[in-house]
């Protein structure tokens, strides 16, 4: 079972360029999330989606956008990257209410460096 | 969601039990205690969760005090592969709400 797949695993990006981090899950989970993790800090929520067609802002949404056209995919876009967006990005998903243990399933992360 | 407090770091000898404490004194009645760990730079991994009763699975045991203001995650026989950052999280179990991660406890298992 693939679970959650993130791509790319690593990327170096020039400041001002745009970038989309891809996230795909094959578990038919309704909810999906994007977190960023900076050195020495915990994970911070960027955006989330409770179900296909809906999205919401997390703790640090500025400079990022997301879309949820279908259940499986939840891409994160940086329209104009800045060096402060250098981070490791984790995508996660969780099952719907009623079938949930509350467990989040995480991908392996995408390491982004903005120069 | 209630705030949690964990020690920043702990050491444990390989083969011994690792007991990781978590304080959540402001927990409310419908909030669950979750434990996750993050090994090196991998994505966080779910370990266990509970409401008021002690819980055990193949990975660990969770002991929650009677007043629910604190809990302890127990790894019964720590191995080098258990070296990781362990996060204690308190959350209402809606199944769709994101988790809020603190800075966790860095557990170093020593050979």
- Per-residue pLDDT, B41: 81
Nearest to B49 among A45, A97, A102 (CB): A102
- Nearest chain A Cα distance for residue B85, angstroms: 10
B90 to chain A: which residues are within 8 Å by CB? none
Nearest to A102 among B44, B45, B93 (CB): B93
- Per-residue pLDDT, A21: 98
- Nearest chain B Cα distance for residue A71, angstroms: 14
Which residues, at least 6 apart from A113, have a Cβ–Cβ distance to it below 8 Å? A11, A12, A13, A86
The span from the CA of B5 to the CA of B21, in Å, is 9
Per-residue tokens: A10 = 């690593």
Average pLDDT over residues A25-54: 91
Q: What is the number of other CB atoms lying within 10 angstroms of the CB of residue A65? A: 14
Per-residue tokens: B108 = 């170093």
Q: Tens of pLDDT along A58-102? A: 999 999 999 999 999 999 999 999 999 999 999 999 886 554 566
Per-residue tokens: B82 = 């258990």
A93 to chain B: which residues are within 8 Å by CB? none
């Amino acid at each position: 079972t693939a679970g959650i797949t993130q791509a790319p695993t690593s990327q170096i990006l020039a400041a001002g360029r745009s970038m989309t981090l891809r996230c795909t899950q094959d578990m038919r989970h309704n909810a999906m999330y994007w977190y960023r993790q900076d050195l020495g800090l915990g994970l911070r929520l960027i955006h989330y989606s409770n179900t296909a067609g809906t999205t919401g802002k997390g703790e640090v949404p500025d400079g990022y956008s997301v879309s949820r056209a279908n259940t499986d995919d939840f891409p994160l876009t940086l329209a104009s990257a800045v060096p402060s967006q250098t981070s490791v990005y984790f995508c996660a998903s969780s099952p719907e209410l009623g079938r949930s243990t509350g467990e989040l399933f995480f991908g392996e992360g995408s390491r982004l460096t903005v120069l | 969601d209630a705030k949690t407090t964990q020690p920043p770091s702990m050491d444990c000898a390989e083969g011994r039990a690792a007991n990781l404490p978590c304080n959540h004194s402001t927990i409310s009645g419908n909030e669950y205690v979750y434990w996750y760990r993050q090994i090196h730079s991998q994505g966080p991994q779910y370990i266990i969760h509970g409401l008021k009763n002690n819980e055990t699975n193949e990975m660990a045991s969770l002991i929650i005090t009677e007043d629910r203001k604190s809990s302890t995650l127990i790894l019964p026989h720590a191995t080098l592969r258990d070296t990781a950052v362990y996060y204690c999280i308190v959350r209402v179990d809606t199944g769709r709400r994101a988790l809020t991660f603190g800075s966790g406890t860095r557990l170093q298992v020593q050979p």
